[in-house]
Amino acid sequence: MSNEKKLHPESIAVSAGRPAPSPDAPVNFPIELSATFVVGGPIGYGRYGNQTWHALEDAIGALEQGSTLVFSSGMAAINSVFSILPAGSVVTTSHQGYNGTMNLLKSMQEGGHLEVRFVDVANTQEVLDALPGTHLLWLESPTNPTLTIADLPSLISAAKKLGCLVAVDNTFATPLNQQPLLMGADFVMHSVTKYLAGHSDVLMGSISTQNPALLEKISTARKLGGAIAGPFEAWLALRGLRTFALRFEKAQSNAMALATRLSVHPKVSIVHYPGLANDPHHLRAKSFMNGYGAMVSFLVHGDAATADKVCASSTLITQATSLGGVESLWERRRRWAGESVSVPENLIRLSVGCENIEDLWTDIQSALMKA
Protein backbone atom coordinates (compact mmCIF):
# COMPACT_ATOMS: atom_id res chain seq x y z
CA MET A 1 0.00 0.00 0.00
CA SER A 2 1.33 3.42 -0.86
CA ASN A 3 2.25 6.04 1.71
CA GLU A 4 0.72 8.73 -0.53
CA LYS A 5 -2.84 8.25 0.65
CA LYS A 6 -3.02 11.60 2.45
CA LEU A 7 -2.71 13.48 -0.84
CA HIS A 8 -5.75 14.36 -2.91
CA PRO A 9 -6.40 12.04 -5.89
CA GLU A 10 -5.31 14.69 -8.43
CA SER A 11 -1.91 14.89 -6.72
CA ILE A 12 -1.65 11.11 -6.37
CA ALA A 13 -2.28 10.62 -10.09
CA VAL A 14 0.61 12.97 -10.84
CA SER A 15 3.10 11.90 -8.17
CA ALA A 16 2.64 8.21 -7.29
CA GLY A 17 4.74 5.49 -8.89
CA ARG A 18 7.84 7.58 -9.55
CA PRO A 19 11.45 6.62 -8.76
CA ALA A 20 12.82 7.92 -5.44
CA PRO A 21 14.50 11.27 -6.09
CA SER A 22 18.30 11.19 -6.11
CA PRO A 23 20.86 13.01 -8.27
CA ASP A 24 20.19 12.19 -11.90
CA ALA A 25 17.50 9.63 -11.10
CA PRO A 26 14.92 9.58 -13.90
CA VAL A 27 11.58 11.23 -13.16
CA ASN A 28 9.76 8.30 -14.79
CA PHE A 29 10.52 4.61 -14.47
CA PRO A 30 11.91 3.34 -17.77
CA ILE A 31 10.22 0.63 -19.79
CA GLU A 32 11.84 -2.49 -18.38
CA LEU A 33 12.13 -4.93 -21.26
CA SER A 34 13.40 -8.11 -19.70
CA ALA A 35 11.87 -11.57 -19.67
CA THR A 36 14.06 -12.72 -16.80
CA PHE A 37 16.09 -11.31 -13.90
CA VAL A 38 19.36 -12.24 -12.22
CA VAL A 39 18.84 -14.52 -9.21
CA GLY A 40 18.56 -13.15 -5.67
CA GLY A 41 15.87 -10.47 -6.09
CA PRO A 42 12.14 -10.42 -5.34
CA ILE A 43 10.98 -10.69 -8.98
CA GLY A 44 12.93 -13.53 -10.61
CA TYR A 45 11.01 -13.89 -13.88
CA GLY A 46 9.08 -11.63 -16.24
CA ARG A 47 5.75 -13.34 -15.64
CA TYR A 48 6.06 -12.62 -11.87
CA GLY A 49 6.85 -8.93 -11.88
CA ASN A 50 8.34 -5.96 -13.68
CA GLN A 51 9.47 -2.54 -12.46
CA THR A 52 7.28 -0.75 -15.02
CA TRP A 53 4.17 -2.66 -13.86
CA HIS A 54 5.06 -1.93 -10.24
CA ALA A 55 5.19 1.82 -10.89
CA LEU A 56 1.69 1.70 -12.38
CA GLU A 57 0.48 -0.61 -9.61
CA ASP A 58 1.78 1.79 -6.96
CA ALA A 59 -0.11 4.67 -8.60
CA ILE A 60 -3.44 2.84 -9.02
CA GLY A 61 -3.02 1.37 -5.52
CA ALA A 62 -2.53 4.83 -4.06
CA LEU A 63 -5.68 6.08 -5.85
CA GLU A 64 -7.80 3.14 -4.67
CA GLN A 65 -6.08 2.93 -1.28
CA GLY A 66 -5.06 -0.69 -1.60
CA SER A 67 -2.40 -2.86 -3.16
CA THR A 68 -2.79 -3.37 -6.90
CA LEU A 69 -1.91 -5.92 -9.55
CA VAL A 70 -2.20 -5.13 -13.25
CA PHE A 71 -3.30 -7.56 -15.98
CA SER A 72 -3.33 -7.72 -19.76
CA SER A 73 -6.96 -6.50 -19.91
CA GLY A 74 -9.93 -5.71 -17.71
CA MET A 75 -11.36 -9.15 -18.53
CA ALA A 76 -8.14 -10.84 -17.41
CA ALA A 77 -8.40 -8.97 -14.10
CA ILE A 78 -12.06 -10.02 -13.68
CA ASN A 79 -11.22 -13.62 -14.55
CA SER A 80 -8.48 -13.72 -11.90
CA VAL A 81 -11.04 -13.03 -9.16
CA PHE A 82 -13.46 -15.71 -10.40
CA SER A 83 -10.54 -18.14 -10.76
CA ILE A 84 -9.68 -18.06 -7.04
CA LEU A 85 -13.20 -19.13 -6.00
CA PRO A 86 -13.60 -22.81 -5.05
CA ALA A 87 -15.51 -24.85 -7.65
CA GLY A 88 -19.27 -24.56 -7.18
CA SER A 89 -19.10 -21.15 -5.45
CA VAL A 90 -22.14 -18.91 -5.78
CA VAL A 91 -21.63 -15.50 -7.42
CA THR A 92 -24.35 -12.86 -7.25
CA THR A 93 -24.10 -10.17 -9.89
CA SER A 94 -25.96 -7.75 -12.12
CA HIS A 95 -28.23 -9.08 -14.87
CA GLN A 96 -27.54 -5.94 -16.81
CA GLY A 97 -23.92 -4.84 -16.42
CA TYR A 98 -20.87 -5.06 -18.66
CA ASN A 99 -21.75 -7.91 -21.01
CA GLY A 100 -18.22 -9.39 -20.96
CA THR A 101 -18.50 -10.02 -17.21
CA MET A 102 -22.00 -11.46 -17.49
CA ASN A 103 -21.06 -13.67 -20.43
CA LEU A 104 -17.92 -14.94 -18.69
CA LEU A 105 -20.02 -15.83 -15.63
CA LYS A 106 -22.64 -17.52 -17.83
CA SER A 107 -19.96 -19.64 -19.48
CA MET A 108 -18.45 -20.55 -16.10
CA GLN A 109 -21.91 -21.56 -14.92
CA GLU A 110 -22.52 -23.62 -18.07
CA GLY A 111 -19.14 -25.32 -17.56
CA GLY A 112 -20.17 -26.25 -14.02
CA HIS A 113 -17.48 -24.08 -12.38
CA LEU A 114 -19.65 -21.53 -10.60
CA GLU A 115 -23.31 -20.95 -9.79
CA VAL A 116 -24.52 -17.48 -10.73
CA ARG A 117 -27.46 -15.46 -9.40
CA PHE A 118 -28.30 -12.59 -11.70
CA VAL A 119 -30.09 -9.70 -9.97
CA ASP A 120 -30.97 -6.07 -10.53
CA VAL A 121 -28.16 -4.45 -8.52
CA ALA A 122 -30.13 -1.21 -8.28
CA ASN A 123 -32.86 -3.09 -6.39
CA THR A 124 -31.29 -3.33 -2.94
CA GLN A 125 -33.85 -5.78 -1.55
CA GLU A 126 -33.40 -8.13 -4.50
CA VAL A 127 -29.64 -8.20 -3.90
CA LEU A 128 -30.06 -8.67 -0.13
CA ASP A 129 -32.44 -11.60 -0.76
CA ALA A 130 -29.81 -13.25 -3.00
CA LEU A 131 -26.95 -12.86 -0.50
CA PRO A 132 -27.47 -15.87 1.81
CA GLY A 133 -25.29 -18.63 0.35
CA THR A 134 -23.43 -16.22 -1.93
CA HIS A 135 -19.61 -16.48 -1.87
CA LEU A 136 -18.85 -13.45 -4.04
CA LEU A 137 -20.99 -10.38 -4.68
CA TRP A 138 -19.75 -8.81 -7.92
CA LEU A 139 -21.04 -5.25 -8.22
CA GLU A 140 -20.76 -2.72 -11.00
CA SER A 141 -22.01 0.81 -10.40
CA PRO A 142 -22.83 2.83 -12.43
CA THR A 143 -23.76 -0.10 -14.66
CA ASN A 144 -22.74 -0.36 -18.29
CA PRO A 145 -24.68 0.78 -20.32
CA THR A 146 -27.85 1.93 -18.52
CA LEU A 147 -26.05 3.79 -15.71
CA THR A 148 -28.10 2.40 -12.84
CA ILE A 149 -26.65 2.89 -9.36
CA ALA A 150 -26.24 0.16 -6.76
CA ASP A 151 -26.39 1.28 -3.13
CA LEU A 152 -22.75 0.34 -2.61
CA PRO A 153 -22.37 1.32 1.09
CA SER A 154 -25.45 -0.73 2.16
CA LEU A 155 -24.79 -3.72 -0.09
CA ILE A 156 -21.10 -3.98 0.81
CA SER A 157 -21.85 -3.77 4.51
CA ALA A 158 -24.67 -6.35 4.32
CA ALA A 159 -22.51 -8.76 2.30
CA LYS A 160 -19.55 -8.41 4.66
CA LYS A 161 -21.81 -9.17 7.66
CA LEU A 162 -22.64 -12.47 5.95
CA GLY A 163 -18.95 -13.22 5.32
CA CYS A 164 -19.33 -12.84 1.58
CA LEU A 165 -16.50 -11.50 -0.61
CA VAL A 166 -17.35 -8.27 -2.44
CA ALA A 167 -15.78 -6.98 -5.66
CA VAL A 168 -16.66 -3.69 -7.35
CA ASP A 169 -15.98 -2.87 -10.99
CA ASN A 170 -15.06 0.79 -10.57
CA THR A 171 -14.35 1.46 -14.24
CA PHE A 172 -17.20 3.94 -14.81
CA ALA A 173 -16.99 5.80 -11.49
CA THR A 174 -13.17 5.86 -11.14
CA PRO A 175 -11.51 6.50 -7.77
CA LEU A 176 -12.32 10.20 -8.17
CA ASN A 177 -16.02 9.46 -7.68
CA GLN A 178 -15.99 6.50 -5.28
CA GLN A 179 -13.47 4.30 -3.44
CA PRO A 180 -15.17 0.97 -2.72
CA LEU A 181 -12.26 -0.43 -0.66
CA LEU A 182 -12.95 2.32 1.89
CA MET A 183 -16.58 1.13 2.03
CA GLY A 184 -15.36 -2.36 2.93
CA ALA A 185 -15.16 -4.07 -0.48
CA ASP A 186 -12.51 -6.79 -0.79
CA PHE A 187 -11.62 -6.04 -4.41
CA VAL A 188 -11.80 -3.08 -6.75
CA MET A 189 -11.42 -3.85 -10.42
CA HIS A 190 -10.65 -1.50 -13.32
CA SER A 191 -10.63 -1.78 -17.00
CA VAL A 192 -7.50 0.42 -17.04
CA THR A 193 -8.11 0.53 -20.80
CA LYS A 194 -10.70 3.25 -20.07
CA TYR A 195 -10.32 6.39 -17.91
CA LEU A 196 -7.12 5.50 -16.07
CA ALA A 197 -5.04 5.07 -19.24
CA GLY A 198 -7.37 7.41 -21.08
CA HIS A 199 -6.16 7.46 -24.71
CA SER A 200 -7.72 4.37 -26.33
CA ASP A 201 -4.25 3.05 -27.12
CA VAL A 202 -3.79 0.33 -24.52
CA LEU A 203 -5.73 -2.60 -23.07
CA MET A 204 -5.11 -3.31 -19.41
CA GLY A 205 -6.89 -4.23 -16.18
CA SER A 206 -6.25 -4.05 -12.46
CA ILE A 207 -7.33 -5.57 -9.17
CA SER A 208 -6.80 -3.69 -5.90
CA THR A 209 -7.33 -5.03 -2.39
CA GLN A 210 -6.41 -4.21 1.20
CA ASN A 211 -6.29 -7.89 2.18
CA PRO A 212 -2.76 -9.41 1.95
CA ALA A 213 -4.06 -13.00 1.73
CA LEU A 214 -6.36 -12.13 -1.18
CA LEU A 215 -3.55 -10.18 -2.85
CA GLU A 216 -1.37 -13.28 -2.66
CA LYS A 217 -4.11 -15.42 -4.23
CA ILE A 218 -4.64 -12.97 -7.08
CA SER A 219 -0.90 -12.68 -7.60
CA THR A 220 -0.63 -16.48 -7.86
CA ALA A 221 -3.59 -16.52 -10.27
CA ARG A 222 -1.78 -13.98 -12.44
CA LYS A 223 1.54 -15.83 -12.30
CA LEU A 224 -0.04 -19.13 -13.27
CA GLY A 225 -2.76 -17.78 -15.57
CA GLY A 226 -0.15 -15.73 -17.39
CA ALA A 227 -2.45 -12.83 -18.38
CA ILE A 228 0.29 -10.28 -17.76
CA ALA A 229 0.61 -6.74 -19.02
CA GLY A 230 3.40 -5.82 -21.41
CA PRO A 231 5.94 -3.37 -19.95
CA PHE A 232 5.34 -0.92 -22.79
CA GLU A 233 1.57 -0.97 -22.18
CA ALA A 234 2.15 -0.42 -18.45
CA TRP A 235 4.36 2.56 -19.23
CA LEU A 236 1.74 4.01 -21.60
CA ALA A 237 -0.99 3.50 -19.01
CA LEU A 238 1.02 5.28 -16.32
CA ARG A 239 1.78 8.11 -18.73
CA GLY A 240 -1.95 8.40 -19.34
CA LEU A 241 -2.74 8.23 -15.62
CA ARG A 242 -0.73 11.41 -14.97
CA THR A 243 -3.55 13.45 -16.55
CA PHE A 244 -6.40 11.22 -15.39
CA ALA A 245 -7.95 13.77 -13.00
CA LEU A 246 -7.77 16.61 -15.51
CA ARG A 247 -9.28 14.52 -18.29
CA PHE A 248 -11.98 13.01 -16.12
CA GLU A 249 -13.11 16.32 -14.64
CA LYS A 250 -13.39 17.89 -18.11
CA ALA A 251 -15.21 14.88 -19.57
CA GLN A 252 -17.55 14.74 -16.57
CA SER A 253 -18.51 18.38 -16.87
CA ASN A 254 -19.09 17.92 -20.62
CA ALA A 255 -21.27 14.88 -19.83
CA MET A 256 -23.44 16.82 -17.40
CA ALA A 257 -24.00 19.57 -19.98
CA LEU A 258 -24.78 17.11 -22.79
CA ALA A 259 -27.14 15.03 -20.64
CA THR A 260 -29.03 18.20 -19.69
CA ARG A 261 -29.36 19.32 -23.31
CA LEU A 262 -30.24 15.84 -24.61
CA SER A 263 -32.99 15.51 -22.00
CA VAL A 264 -34.99 18.30 -23.68
CA HIS A 265 -34.15 17.41 -27.28
CA PRO A 266 -37.28 16.49 -29.30
CA LYS A 267 -35.59 13.49 -30.97
CA VAL A 268 -34.61 11.94 -27.64
CA SER A 269 -37.08 10.03 -25.47
CA ILE A 270 -35.04 9.07 -22.39
CA VAL A 271 -31.64 10.09 -21.02
CA HIS A 272 -29.81 7.96 -18.46
CA TYR A 273 -27.36 10.06 -16.46
CA PRO A 274 -27.26 9.91 -12.65
CA GLY A 275 -26.30 13.58 -12.46
CA LEU A 276 -29.70 14.72 -13.78
CA ALA A 277 -31.96 15.78 -10.90
CA ASN A 278 -34.87 13.79 -12.37
CA ASP A 279 -32.86 10.61 -13.00
CA PRO A 280 -34.30 7.79 -10.85
CA HIS A 281 -30.81 7.08 -9.49
CA HIS A 282 -29.78 10.68 -8.78
CA LEU A 283 -30.41 10.82 -5.04
CA ARG A 284 -28.70 7.53 -4.37
CA ALA A 285 -25.69 8.53 -6.46
CA LYS A 286 -25.54 11.89 -4.70
CA SER A 287 -25.55 10.19 -1.30
CA PHE A 288 -22.16 8.51 -1.75
CA MET A 289 -20.53 9.55 -5.02
CA ASN A 290 -18.38 12.63 -5.60
CA GLY A 291 -19.55 13.03 -9.19
CA TYR A 292 -21.66 11.32 -11.83
CA GLY A 293 -19.13 10.28 -14.43
CA ALA A 294 -18.65 10.90 -18.12
CA MET A 295 -20.92 8.25 -19.65
CA VAL A 296 -24.38 9.21 -20.94
CA SER A 297 -26.89 6.77 -22.44
CA PHE A 298 -29.99 7.89 -24.29
CA LEU A 299 -32.85 6.50 -26.32
CA VAL A 300 -33.78 8.11 -29.60
CA HIS A 301 -37.37 8.20 -30.88
CA GLY A 302 -37.43 5.42 -33.46
CA ASP A 303 -35.92 1.97 -33.81
CA ALA A 304 -32.48 0.35 -34.05
CA ALA A 305 -32.01 1.69 -37.59
CA THR A 306 -32.68 5.25 -36.41
CA ALA A 307 -30.13 4.89 -33.62
CA ASP A 308 -27.58 3.39 -36.05
CA LYS A 309 -28.15 6.31 -38.41
CA VAL A 310 -27.53 8.83 -35.60
CA CYS A 311 -24.26 7.11 -34.66
CA ALA A 312 -23.14 6.96 -38.28
CA SER A 313 -23.94 10.65 -38.88
CA SER A 314 -21.49 12.33 -36.52
CA THR A 315 -18.30 13.93 -37.73
CA LEU A 316 -16.54 14.76 -34.45
CA ILE A 317 -17.75 11.84 -32.32
CA THR A 318 -16.41 8.49 -33.54
CA GLN A 319 -18.78 5.55 -33.93
CA ALA A 320 -16.90 2.91 -31.96
CA THR A 321 -17.13 0.82 -28.85
CA SER A 322 -15.14 1.40 -25.65
CA LEU A 323 -14.99 4.47 -23.47
CA GLY A 324 -12.88 6.63 -21.25
CA GLY A 325 -10.55 8.12 -23.85
CA VAL A 326 -10.01 11.83 -24.51
CA GLU A 327 -12.07 11.45 -27.70
CA SER A 328 -15.85 11.07 -27.59
CA LEU A 329 -17.21 7.74 -28.85
CA TRP A 330 -20.73 6.45 -29.29
CA GLU A 331 -22.47 3.32 -30.44
CA ARG A 332 -25.81 1.52 -30.35
CA ARG A 333 -25.13 -1.08 -27.70
CA ARG A 334 -27.49 -3.76 -29.00
CA ARG A 335 -25.43 -3.98 -32.19
CA TRP A 336 -23.44 -6.51 -30.12
CA ALA A 337 -24.96 -9.97 -30.01
CA GLY A 338 -23.66 -10.43 -26.45
CA GLU A 339 -25.48 -7.37 -25.06
CA SER A 340 -28.28 -7.96 -22.56
CA VAL A 341 -31.71 -8.08 -24.21
CA SER A 342 -32.94 -5.80 -21.41
CA VAL A 343 -31.01 -2.97 -23.08
CA PRO A 344 -33.35 -1.22 -25.54
CA GLU A 345 -32.52 -1.58 -29.26
CA ASN A 346 -32.52 2.20 -29.66
CA LEU A 347 -30.13 2.96 -26.78
CA ILE A 348 -27.02 4.92 -27.71
CA ARG A 349 -24.10 4.87 -25.27
CA LEU A 350 -21.99 7.98 -25.42
CA SER A 351 -18.52 8.13 -23.88
CA VAL A 352 -18.00 11.84 -23.47
CA GLY A 353 -14.48 13.06 -24.09
CA CYS A 354 -12.56 16.29 -23.60
CA GLU A 355 -13.54 18.20 -26.74
CA ASN A 356 -15.14 21.65 -26.64
CA ILE A 357 -18.72 21.30 -25.36
CA GLU A 358 -20.24 23.45 -28.13
CA ASP A 359 -18.48 21.42 -30.84
CA LEU A 360 -19.82 18.22 -29.29
CA TRP A 361 -23.34 19.60 -29.05
CA THR A 362 -23.29 20.86 -32.63
CA ASP A 363 -22.20 17.39 -33.79
CA ILE A 364 -24.87 15.61 -31.73
CA GLN A 365 -27.64 17.93 -32.86
CA SER A 366 -26.69 17.56 -36.50
CA ALA A 367 -26.50 13.74 -36.21
CA LEU A 368 -29.93 13.66 -34.54
CA MET A 369 -31.42 15.84 -37.27
CA LYS A 370 -29.96 13.62 -40.05
CA ALA A 371 -31.62 10.49 -38.66
Ligand X SMILES: Cc1ncc(COP(=O)(O)O)c(C=O)c1O
- Residues identified as active-site: 47, 98, 169, 194
Identity of the residue, 203 or 215, whose beta carbon is nearer to ligand X in the bound complex:
203
Contact 94, 102 (CB under 8 A): yes
Identity of the residue, 139 or 259, whose beta carbon is nearer to ligand X in the bound complex:
139
Give the number of other CB atoms < 10 A from CB of residue 208.
32
Compute the least distance from the CB of residue 27 to ligand X, in Å.
28
Compute the least distance from the CB of residue 99 to ligand X, in Å.
9
- Cβ burial of 284 (10 Å; 0-12, 13-18, 19+) is buried
Q: What is the DSSP letter of 333?
A: G
Compute the least distance from the CB of residue 71 to ligand X, in Å.
9
Identity of the residue, 168 or 360, whose beta carbon is nearer to ligand X in the bound complex:
168
Three-state DSSP state, 2: coil
Question: How far is the C-alpha of 358 from the C-alpha of 356, rounded, in Å?
Answer: 6
Identity of the residue, 65 or 73, whose beta carbon is nearer to ligand X in the bound complex:
73
List of residues contacting ligand X (CB under 6 A): 73-75, 98, 100, 140, 144, 169, 171-172, 191, 193, 203, 205, 322
Compute the least distance from the CB of residue 169 to ligand X, in Å.
5
User: What are the CA-CA distances from residue 200 to residues 233, 283, 299, 302, 323 (Å)?
Assistant: 11, 32, 25, 31, 8
Compute the least distance from the CB of residue 133 to ligand X, in Å.
25
Identity of the residue, 169 or 339, whose beta carbon is nearer to ligand X in the bound complex:
169
Three-state DSSP state, 188: strand
Question: How far is the C-alpha of 158 from the C-alpha of 248, rounded, in Å?
Answer: 31
Contact 171, 191 (CB under 8 A): yes
Compute the least distance from the CB of residue 321 to ligand X, in Å.
7
- Enumerate residues 6+ apart whose C-beta is below 8 A from 229: 53, 56, 70, 71, 72, 204, 237
Give the number of other CB atoms < 10 A from CB of residue 34.
12
Identity of the residue, 289 or 368, whose beta carbon is nearer to ligand X in the bound complex:
289
